[in-house]
Every structure is written in structure tokens, then in C-alpha cells.
């Protein structure tokens, strides 16, 4: 699966990160 920073799930990171959500 896609992994974000530090092996974290990228989709969840995108859902939580304000900077990503703002895009």
C-alpha cells in the first residue's frame, strides 16, 4: 500500500493533514 511519512498510511495522512487537505 501507499505509505506516507514514517511508514504511515498515505490516504489517512492525507485525510488528517491540514496542508494536504487544503490543496
Partner 1 sequence: AEPFSGGPGVPELILQLLQLEPDEDQVRARIVGCLQDPAKGRPDQPAPFGLLCRMADQTFISIVDWARRCMVFKELEVADQMTLLQNCWSELLVFDHIYRQIQHGKEGSILLVTGQEVELTTVAAQAGSLLHGLVLRAQELVLQLHALQLDRQEFVCLKFLILFSLDVKFLNNHSLVKDAQEKANAALLDYTLCHYPHCGDKFQQLLLCLVEVRALSMQAKEYLYHKHLGNEMPRNNLLIEMLQAKQT
Query: Applying CB under 8 A, does 23 fall inside the site for partner 1?
Result: no
CA neighbours closer than 13 Å in the CB half-sphere of residue 8: 11
Supply the minimum distance, in Å, between the C-beta of residue 20 and partner 1: 9
Question: Closest approach of Cβ 5 to partner 1, in Å?
Answer: 9
| Alpha-carbon separation of residue 13 from 1, 16, 22 (angstroms) | 13, 5, 13
- Name the minimum Å distance from CB 14 to partner 1: 10
Q: What is the DSSP letter of 23?
A: -
Contact set with partner 1 (CB under 8 A): 1-3, 6-13, 15-17
Amino acid at each position: 500500500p501507499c505509505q506516507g511519512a514514517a511508514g504511515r498510511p498515505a490516504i489517512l495522512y492525507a485525510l488528517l493533514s491540514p496542508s494536504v487537505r487544503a490543496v
